[in-house]
Amino acid sequence: MLESERNDGSNSEDVPTAKRRKELRKEEADAFFSGDPKSEAQSDNSDVQSGEPRKKRKAVALLMSYNGSGYYGMQVTRNEKFPAVEDVFGRCLVAAGAITQQDYENFGKIHFQRGCRTDKNVSAARQVISLKMMQIENPVEEINKHVPQGMIVHSVKRTTRGFDSKKWASSRVYSYVMPTFCLDPSLVSLDRFEEDACERCRTFRVSEQLLDAMDEALSNYIGTKNFHNFTAGKEFRDASAFRYNMSFKVSRPPYMFRDVEFVTVSVHGQSFMLHQIRKMIGLAVAVVRGNIDSSIYEKVFHKAAKYDIPKFPSVGLFLDEVFFEHYNKKFGSDHEKLEWPELFDQIENWKKTNIVDKILETILEEKVFENYLPVLAIHSYSDDISHRPERRRQQLLKQVEETQQADLTSSASGADRTLDTVGQESDELVTEEPNVDNTLVPSQI
């Protein structure tokens, strides 16, 4: 190839130096966010759908927060009955002029990617999205004009052309909010929480010894371990079941909300699998309460058998932060680093008001853990689960009998049902599939 062809027809003396190229990139980035129309030429490609010239996109990293309650995770469903975060946020980007309707209908076209996927009802304090976005003036303010309540954009930064927030994310931090009475050993024998037990939950105050015991249980997850027992669909020999955790600890001191004591459990890891965090916390709580001995950790990581491990409710979980250490080290000298220390206070205030406080309210109003903790006694914590169908049946029989007794007290119409009928109804309930609302039906216990 000729030198003139390599330089698009210019002389070799006109080729900018490395320093000049860096200055040009900075000028281009400044112009992109200032809304200077002269900085953005339109490409020769045209949008067939609209018949208008297609504006040139620029790769950006978008930092946002959202309350995941009511959403079916950080994904695309394209179904109004099952709204997901990406569906709603994508329409906001269209309304703000950051992407077109055709871009929204085909996210792959703009290389749309999120740093972490969150499950149903799981929130995010610092989610990072990568995409190729059109030039708009004051993008943060413009996008925030269209987002719904419980969702906000904090920052938009230019990135390298091929930046992918999922691939470049070096580690993530997830946090889990739970009341301290989950660690109370005196509640371990209860198969349901009556009023006196609920009152004890409200007045319970955790000791330093229990917090130390929880930290000790969580320390078993630090390092590279085989977590095939803490997710679904992974076998012991599956290399992808190995995950690396850097820290796992309980916040201190505990904090109060409506006279109930809470703590936050935070885990910093490279990546996580489906249900992994909820199962890790569920087993740690069971060990601290005395449902199972800590020797179980010698088995769940090293044996091929699948163990019966409890999964804590999803309501307390949220994504706290995503780190891009490798990206910042490689490209930080030429591009903006993907870190936002100047926004720390702003994000923490938004997180407390729109995520943590909402989680605390839901936990108390719906009595999430009062209803869940008796389930810990049903699990076998072994590879033998043959007892579970019968125990489910017994539990359902007891519930139906109590309902019948209440009906008999208020009305004679409930006297027609018999225990045989109750048994048939219980068998039908046991075969039900899990519902989508994380309700504790028999097949999930």
Distance (Å, whole) CA 89 – CA 87: 6
The DSSP-derived string for 208-275 is HHHHHHHHHHHGGG-EEEE-GGGSSS--TT-GGGEEEEEEEEE-SS-EEETTEEEEEEEEEES---TT
Distance (Å, whole) CA 432 – CA 385: 18
Residue of 320, 47, 28, 282 lying closest to 171 (CA atoms): 320
Q: Taking the CB of residue 28, how many other CB atoms lie within 10 A of it?
A: 14
Question: Identity (one letter) of the amino acid at 102?
Answer: Q
Distance (Å, whole) CA 173 – CA 264: 12
Which residue out of 119, 345, 384, 407 is catalytically annotated? 119
Residue of 289, 262, 283 lying closest to 180 (CA atoms): 262
Residue of 277, 300, 290 lying closest to 377 (CA atoms): 290
For residue 119, indicate whether it is catalytic: yes
Residue 348, φ and ψ in degrees, nearest 5: -65, -40
The DSSP-derived string for 397-434 is HHHHHHHHHHHHHH-GGGGG--HHHHHHHHHHHHTPPP
Please report which residue ranges of 48-205 form alpha helices under DSSP H. 85-96, 101-105, 139-144, 165-168, 195-203
CB 38 within 8 A of CB 49: no
The DSSP-derived string for 323-392 is E-HHHHHHHTTTS--S--GGGHHHHHHHHIIIIIHHHHHHHHHTTHHHHHGGGGGT--SSS--TTHHHHH
Q: Please give the positions annotated as active site.
A: 119
